[in-house]
Structure 1
Amino acid sequence: MARPKSYIVEEVVERVVYAFWQNGYQALGLRELERLTGLNQFAIRTEFGGKEGLYLAALDFYTQSAVTTAMQPMRDGGLPEIIGFLNSLVTDGSMTSSEYGCLVVNTGIENARVGSPRLEQAVRRYWDELESCFRACLQKALSEGKLDPSIDASSVAKGLVSGVMGVHAQNRLDQSNRAGRFLVDVLCNQLKSMEKS
């Protein structure tokens, strides 16, 4: 008869998100993960498939929180919702603003060394979702005649995703959730300049 679990998987994942967010994937060994999660190596292996599986669970928790909360207003929004999202990247108390940058950006950068196809796939899924939200907002603004009709919504959406990556990278580099403010202002001003007068 199997022993009952002495932990709640969701609580373990939520705890470890912040550890990976602050320290990265490679910096945390199994001993440290045992200490942080309260699980032993066997439980990490059997429950999550090892360290990478635990990291993917943390990344999924993080991305789902962002998709269902921070990106949600852009589902039916327009330019004001994009601008609101961009400003949230450098606003105290916002779930998308952190001195550690963004777990997804950090993962993408670190995975250039790690080379995990599963991490790469998770990162790309997130950015594809954000790009889709930006594109939907821009297309809505175009259909309502609020943007210059020469604007290519797909190209602008891709550029905004790159801009978001840059904001998070600046925040992490300077260890300040407001460090990317200058880039946010540039992006917002660029969007406003596309509006029809």
Structure 2
Amino acid sequence: MARAKNYDREKAVEAAMLAFWKKGYGALGVREIESETSINRFALQTDFGGKQGLFLEALQKYLEISDETALKPLQSGGLTALISFFRQLAHGEAEDPRDGGCLMVNTVIENANLGIDDVSELTARHYSNMQRMFELALGWAQEEGELAHDFDLSSAAKMLLTFAMGVEVYVRMNGTVSAASAQVEFLVSQIESWRLKK
């Protein structure tokens, strides 16, 4: 007879996401997972395939949230959407989990040692998508006459991706989202300099 689940899967995955975000994959033990998520050892193994399976599901949840909130507006927002995206990187609330950096950037760094192939594939797909969204925003800006017709969309999108990842490392190093405010405002001034004068 199958055991009844004594936890809400969606809430448990969200709790796991926050726990992995705070601790990292390697430092988060099974006992802490049980405490933070209400997923017991049996359910962790049978429902998720173990700690790694839960980690992958938590990362996927993070990406779903990121895609809907941070990245989606870039599809048709031009330079204004780009500026808003980057300013949001340096604006946080009290006890913001982002004070510890971006879960995906943290994961990329940790996974350089862990070498989990599924994690590498997921993070690579995420950052490829982010770069594509930056290029879409720039392309929209170009179509709307905000950028010159010969503006190098691809190189600019790659630079913006590199900056976004670097900001998150800097935030983690300093322990607060607002640490990157000056750098973000400098980037904003650069983006504004790309805008064609009318």
Task: Provide TM-score, normalisation by structure 1.
Answer: 0.94
Deviation for aligned residue 1:40: 2.1
- Mapped partners of 2:42, 2:55: distance in 1: 16
Structure 2 segments unaligned to the other structure (5+ residues): none
Q: In the alignment, residue 115 of structure 2 is paired with which amino acid? A: G
Q: Secondary structure at the match of 1:133?
A: helix
- 1:77-112 CA deviation, whole Å, 9 max, x = no partner? 100000000000011349x98211100000000000
- 1:6-63 CA deviation, whole Å, 9 max, x = no partner? 1111111011111111111101121221222222222111111111111111111111
Q: In the alignment, residue 179 of structure 1 is paired with which amino acid? A: A
- Mapped partners of 1:131, 1:195: distance in 2: 20
Return 127-136 or 104-113, whichever deviates more: 127-136
Q: Secondary structure at the match of 1:56?
A: helix
In the alignment, which residue of structure 2 is the partner of 1:67?
A: 67
Return 35-44 or 106-115, whichever deviates more: 35-44
- Mapped partners of 2:112, 2:77: distance in 1: 34
- Mapped partners of 1:97, 1:107: distance in 2: 14
In the alignment, which residue of structure 2 is the partner of 1:148?
A: 148
Deviation for aligned residue 1:186: 2.4
Q: In the alignment, residue 170 of structure 1 is paired with which amino acid? A: Y
Q: Secondary structure at the match of 1:28?
A: coil
Q: Contact (CA 8 Å) 2:76, 2:137: kept in 1 or not?
A: yes
In the alignment, which residue of structure 2 is the partner of 1:158?
A: 158
Q: In the alignment, residue 81 of structure 1 is paired with which amino acid? A: A
Q: Secondary structure at the match of 1:79?
A: helix
In the alignment, which residue of structure 2 is the partner of 1:16?
A: 16
- Mapped partners of 1:131, 1:60: distance in 2: 18
In the alignment, which residue of structure 2 is the partner of 1:90?
A: 90
Deviation for aligned residue 1:182: 2.3
- 1:115-137 CA deviation, whole Å, 9 max, x = no partner? 11111111112111211111011
- Mapped partners of 1:20, 1:97: distance in 2: 11
Structure 1 segments unaligned to the other structure (5+ residues): none
In the alignment, which residue of structure 1 is the partner of 2:100?
A: 100
- Mapped partners of 2:132, 2:193: distance in 1: 21
Q: Secondary structure at the match of 2:76?
A: coil
Q: In the alignment, residue 82 of structure 2 is paired with which amino acid? A: I
Q: In the alignment, residue 109 of structure 2 is paired with which amino acid? A: I
- Mapped partners of 2:187, 2:46: distance in 1: 45
- Mapped partners of 1:10, 1:92: distance in 2: 24
Return 98-107 or 136-145, whichever deviates more: 136-145
Q: In the alignment, residue 26 of structure 1 is paired with which amino acid? A: G
- Mapped partners of 1:92, 1:35: distance in 2: 27
Q: In the alignment, residue 185 of structure 1 is paired with which amino acid? A: E
Which residues in structure 2 correspond to 1:177-192 (within 5 Å)?
A: 177-192=177-192
| Identity fraction in percent | 39
Q: Contact (CA 8 Å) 1:147, 1:194: kept in 2 or not?
A: yes
Give the number of the structure whose residues are more often helix, by fraction.
Answer: 2
Return 115-124 or 96-105, whichever deviates more: 96-105
In the alignment, which residue of structure 1 is the partner of 2:46?
A: 46
